[in-house]
Copies of this chain bind each other. A is one copy, B any other.
């Protein structure tokens, strides 16, 4: 079978499954999640063995240590998948929920019903655990999914998919509700992101180059974020201890994550009171500082001059760019120009400025006196997260189950006609 025909078949099967899933009672979906967890539990050894094949091939193909690390399944990571499934089973199911049902002057009742999107295509790189995590969220939200993992993880993904399929069958849910693309042919991705008649949305998960390519070539809507160039602005009315605590946490809690601070903006009046102490902490943690001229003059020992490129860079590393600004207006102008509209925060005790920052900064998460690291589906109480969207349509910020749903209108009448 050629790739086009193969992908069309997956698409047709997914669409047929989606029609059943869309109105499946919650118990069926939850039973399937638990059944998949049981399958994984029973097949831990097989999963490790299949994963070993990928690891051997990966080493032969010269994957670096970080890539091999992402690829590796351990008893602990398999347990995390199992726990994730159980956790998704405990989340509330909002599919079918009717809101705002009310009478109109004409006598008809109008409301909105929450419904699944239909078929979700997930494209990801080496981490095999995404196979389970994504399947669980799609299933719970009543969507069918087609999963395309990295070719370097094909044995692991196949073994996981076998568990998923068996779990679905055990729970009497259509097994084509979750399908993996069982080929390493790259053409399959091109097919998946253009099968408008079968796929309703694409969620790419992985590095920036993958996401850029997919969102450029897809003819189907894509839920994505490209960059996390997050800012913290320390206002001159900031509480100094809170400011230091937040600036340290936002940068150093984890470096390789999209909600880490990449640029620190400080009001010039407060900079001398904060920067030296902060620089010492950063220094002790091995964070390289790249500052504007004023920053470097305050930190003669620890500062490299930032270039224009620094303000545009998501380091994902122990590097921080710092700029001293005159106040909130210059800070917001800088954010307006350089932010990737992911997450930006102000630290201030000033009520009026906090209110202005919240209203005027156009990012998916805007924070006052909190670390940017909070921008996360679990922290926000979404229960789970399929990704973070920096787009403005449909879903913005951390995307949980609701981001995989939509609202249709329902109209109830009693023979009503339009006059």
Q: Name which of A121-129, A286-294, A406-414 contacts chain B.
A: A406-414
Interface hub of A201, A253, A412, A416 (most chain B Cβ within 10 A): A416
A322 interfacial by beta-carbon distance below 8 Å: no
Complex: A414 Cα to B367 Cα, angstroms: 10
- Whether the Cβ atoms of A379 and B418 lie closer than 8 Å is yes
Quick check: B416 and A380 within 8 Å, CB to CB? no
Asked whether, in the complex, the Cβ of B246 is within 8 Å of the Cβ of A366, the reply is no
A381 touches B104 (CB 8 A): yes
* CB-CB contacts below 8 Å: A6-33 with B: 19, 22-23
CA distance in complex: A243, B84 (Å): 49
Within the complex, the shortest CB–CB distance from A278 to chain B, in Å, comes to: 14
Stretch from A52-60, A206-214, A356-364 forming part of the interface with B: A356-364
B366 touches A411 (CB 8 A): yes
Set of chain B residues within 8 Å of A110, measured between Cβ atoms: 379-381
Query: How close is A92's CB to chain B, nearest CB, in angstroms?
Result: 14
> Considering the chains assembled together, what is the distance between the CA atoms of A197 and B175 in angstroms?
42
A106 at the interface (CB under 8 A from B): yes
A22 with B108: CB separation less than 8 A: no
Give residues 183-242 of A contacting B (CB, 8 Å): 200-201, 221, 239, 241-242
Q: Is A81 an interface residue (CB 8 A)?
A: no
Query: Are B393 and A117 within 8 A (Cβ)?
Result: yes
The 6 closest A-B pairs by CB, nearest first: A370-B413, A242-B415, A249-B417, A373-B418, A367-B411, A394-B394
